[in-house]
Structure 1
């Protein structure tokens, strides 16, 4: 029985619902009479609904006739329908659904279904109430200067956090359900009048083509909608900070949120976003430009430093100053492995140690990291297993990878270190340069929703270069990123220059001269 016509009688409807959901320990069914004369039944999953709300705002109003209808003896079915929705139920989210599959969908989403004898269809009432964790500081993105609020698993709460910071009627939210089994709610967010409509349509098209059993996290969607699936570089940015989502929406991007996931996806994405942070724009530009440059140095440091060390030690030791070369040779005197094998062993050991630190309970993880770095490193040097300079190189490389704000981008650089080290051990500095050229060529071939991955560097854009290597003053960046092809290009008014002529209203000398007059 799948159509409303085949469920004509009251008992047929009850049998249909109980046949679909009745074989569950937390499924509840309650028979009663509407206004004391119309047989009815209430269904719901007890662990997903608010019982107090259900008793007070659903059962009680349905059992007792409204005062304005005391003089009416009989209500025809068409009149009963309007009375229940408009006069009895104390719910703004109560509607009559004709399709039986919508009843089942509402039940598994935490809604309650009321079936009444003589009433076509059934009443679906929004009574969902699921325990959730509080809004806390983001765990994956540390906040130095900015809001201490992060997304949680509830989609409605996450959308409210975005609307709180984006109080404009142009903010648009489109929802869809993905997953044959989970029926996960997915929200597509953008700003009407800024975001290119073709981008929004393309995001909807890619999401609508996903046909999978379940979507448990936003990371599932990321793997389906990215342009290139065989690359270590992420083409979709994720964040659990509402202010970061709002900042990207104002630039003309699209945000994707999934019910049950605290991480929002942001598309399209270019590589420069992975070494930028929200704090870059909340502090003054001179300081944050220096910090960003240090972050970029650490990023390159974590990628090429081990391979440079291997190539110089193995093929070009003449590039090292004499005094330093003697110290390095003395440290490596008792090491039985060539430099490339030694670095690979230490790198793999560090990756295993880092993964173990992440997976262990928080109370033990910190202690393990200290023990691993100090004790194991010192023991390896003392046993002649590794040279002191190698331990220093690996430690500096690991610290440099921690300076990359985005975990997925840092992971890509960590993986690319290994082929670079192998090529350095085989071809020396030539191998390092060939590896870097291949990486650069691969990044040039990547696109995110049609946008070149290295924008605004390639293709070059003067406005975008103001926020690439350094963070220019806010009043320099009057236009939104050109590669996003936004409808409204201007984000800074023409009459909003910085204060050039300071009015020293409290200058002591001026006040003294004024008083003497």
Structure 2
């Protein structure tokens, strides 16, 4: 057979292959006809010969032919046997009529026989296939132009543990898990209010991933909620396997290293942002919640800041900001000082640095880039290795490899110290995506410093800040409340002001209800306790003096 004939034969075979989910989309208009065999054929043709797809024929009350459809690995089989099949196949003594019409039969099944909180009816055959694949059980009856389906889903899940990517110092030790219902329950547990709203939709042509949009009615700006729904509804992809897939589709700028959404494993962090007026997006199968819109100052803040007293929290946050700036510009400043502007260094220090670099055969910019790349490789290797040996590898890599590089004359001691301090500073940023952006930006800043010196560093920093000022997250300026400026929001940027100094929600979110603290409480708490005690004592004294004398006083 010639190559041309073989290719044509291959193409002809490929044309005959029907993809089930596309076939289902083409036939999404078909409805249940009442012919039980036609319903069985439709569902069986689409779901194919699967070992875990169960088709169970039975007679309801011993008289009415029916079929039960479910996927055994997605349901609680004991619940189906005891709560569904047993009552359907038994013959109650009070049903003596030879023939019940279909309306009476449906009413008896839903109101007197099946002990489930909700029994739903569906006429569309494509919808029945989808609910079977999601873990529900479908019961189709002969002569009935609709089938009932019951939620019997049961998937093994892990227990609720402390979040692994966010260390908790002061606060609850609960973290999200992969089941969407459990995650929403954790939010409702902390928000027992009628304002809490949950909207769901399915994204992904194959995975049909359930996405939940959570917000507070009357607190979150409706325009933000509408924009979130609009962006999510436009996603057209085969699979959504994690919430990171959604992040890439709905962010405003796809070419920036800075994150425009906030991913968290902590329910308390999610609730805190919901109360401020943000929207939380959760995906079934992902242990993270995505918060939008976000601003840059959120990425060096932690939920623990609000659980501690404001003096301590402000100090810790200032240290984080210093470490953030330090990790971004320290290597580039070192390169510019060594290569272009050594006169800016103290004489003794400059002599010590020059002596340490005497045996290094390449410029400072090359030395810093080699060590930075080596550190990134070591960091990635540590993350990918099992936890039992990952920590040991990081210690061995830093100590042995660093010492060997200095001894071999491949790096100077001062450069190793600079890179080590820079790496430690990047660990102080609580959010991984933000620290990764800073790590990425260090490389162009070092290259600019190696070419233009301090001028290059300043050009790079100006470019980074201009880029951040131009960014937006769902229409909210990324550098709010610094630019545009807001005095109320500035109380929670560089420092964490006392809670009673922040009676308003963030203005850049434009919440319909911006009051989160009563004015009377603010005025009362701002007074020292001894002043309030004296006022109360004075009031009681005046009240006693104003009493009429009944002649009983001495």
Partners of 2:309 and 2:28 in 1: CA distance: 63
- Residue in structure 1 matched with residue 42 of structure 2 by the alignment: 16
Distance in 1 (alpha carbons) for counterparts of 2:307 and 2:31: 61
- Worse-superposed segment, 254-263 or 81-90: 81-90
Contact residue 359 and residue 409 of structure 2 kept, 8 A: yes
CA-CA distance at 1:72 after TM superposition: 3.8
Q: What is the SS of the residue equivalent to 1:42?
A: strand
- Alignment correspondent of 2:203: 178
Quick one: distance in 2 between partners of 1:258 and 1:158? 10
The normalised TM-score by structure 1 is 0.96
Is 1:341 aligned with 2:376? no
- Report the 3-state secondary structure (helix = DSSP H, G, I; strand = E; otherwise coil) of the residue aligned with 2:462: helix
Match 1:454 to one of 479, 494, 499: 479
Choose from 215, 229, 242 the match for 2:267. 242
The alpha-carbon distance between structure 1 residues 338 and 210, as it changes in their structure 2 partners (threshold 3 A), is same
1:88-99 counterparts in 2 under 5 A? 88-99=113-124
> For the residues of structure 2 that align with 1:109 and 1:444, how far apart are their CA atoms?
44
Other-structure match for 1:515: none
- In terms of mean alpha carbon deviation, does 474-483 or 489-498 score higher? 489-498
Deviation at 1:71, TM superposition (A): 4.2
Counterpart of 2:302 (choices 271, 274, 277) is: 277
Alpha-carbon offset, residue 304 of structure 1: 0.2
Q: Determine the C-alpha separation between the residues in 1 that align with 2:40 and 2:96.
A: 31
Choose which of 390, 396, 406 in structure 1 pairs with 2:431.
Answer: 406
The aligned runs of 1:243-392 (5 Å cut-off) are 243-392=268-417
Give how far 1:164 is off. 0.2
Inter-partner Cα distance in structure 2 for 1:324 and 1:501: 51
1:62-101 to 2 correspondence within 5 Å? Answer: 62-66=88-92, 69-101=94-126
Using the TM superposition, name which of 308-317 and 28-37 deviates more: 28-37
Q: Quick one: distance in 1 between partners of 2:379 and 2:280?
A: 31
Give, in angstroms, the shift of residue 319 of structure 1: 1.2
Contact 1:228–1:446, Cα closer than 8 Å, also in 2: yes
- Contact 2:158 / 2:177 at 8 angstroms: preserved in 1? yes
1:38 and 1:239 map into 2 onto residues whose CA distance is 52
- 2:257 — aligned with what? 232
> Take 2:506 and 2:289, find their aligned partners in 1: how far apart are those partners?
21
Give the root-mean-square deviation of aligned CA atoms. Answer: 1.6
Of 453, 458, 462, which residue of structure 2 is paired with 1:437? 462
Q: Is the 8 A contact 1:151 1:262 kept in 2?
A: yes
**Number of equivalent positions:** 506
- Is contact 2:318–2:494 with CA below 8 Å preserved after alignment? yes
SS of alignment partner, residue 160 of structure 2? coil
- Work out whether residues 138 and 150 of structure 1, in 8 Å CA contact, stay in contact via their aligned partners in 2: yes
- Asked if structure 2 preserves the Cα contact closer than 8 Å seen for 1:274 and 1:409, the reply is yes
The question of whether the paired residues in 1 share the 8 Å contact of 2:123 and 2:145 is answered with yes
Take 2:119 and 2:530, find their aligned partners in 1: how far apart are those partners?
A: 60
1:132-159 superposed Cα distances (whole Å, 9 cap, x missing partner): 1110000010100101000000000000
Distance 1:6 1:147, change over 3 A: closer
CA distance in structure 1 between the aligned counterparts of 2:28 and 2:490, rounded to whole angstroms: 59
- 8 A contact 1:423–1:435 mirrored in 2: yes
SS of structure 1 residue aligned to 2:214: strand
Contact 1:401-1:410 within 8 A present in 2 as well: yes
Deviations 1:287-327 (A, max 9, x none): 01000000000000000000000000001111111111111
Secondary structure at the counterpart of residue 444 of structure 1: helix
Q: Rg: which structure is higher?
A: 2
Q: Which whole-Å deviations, capped at 9, do the CAs of 1:455-486 have from their partners, x for residues lacking one?
A: 00000000000001000000000000000000
1:65: how far off?
A: 3.9
The CA distance in 1 between the partners of 2:495 and 2:532, in whole Å, is 34
Distance 1:370 1:203, change over 3 A: same
Residues 88-136 of structure 1 deviation map (CA, whole Å, 9 limit, x = unaligned): 1111132111100111001110111111112222111101000011100
1:33 corresponds to 2:59: yes
Q: Does 1:44 pair with 2:70?
A: yes
The alpha carbon displacement at 1:427 in A equals 0.5
C-alpha distance in structure 2 between counterparts of 1:66 and 1:448, whole Å: 61
CA distance in 2, matches of 1:128, 1:6: 23
TM superposition outliers: structure 1 runs of 4+ over 3 Å: 1-8, 69-73, 503-506
* 2:81 corresponds to: 55
CA–CA distance in structure 1, aligned partners of residues 193 and 394 of structure 2 = 47
1:357-386 Cα distance to aligned partner (Å, 9 max, x none): 001111111111000000000000000000
In the superposition, relative to structure 1, how do residues 444 and 33 fare at CA in structure 2: closer, same or farther (>3 Å)?
Answer: same
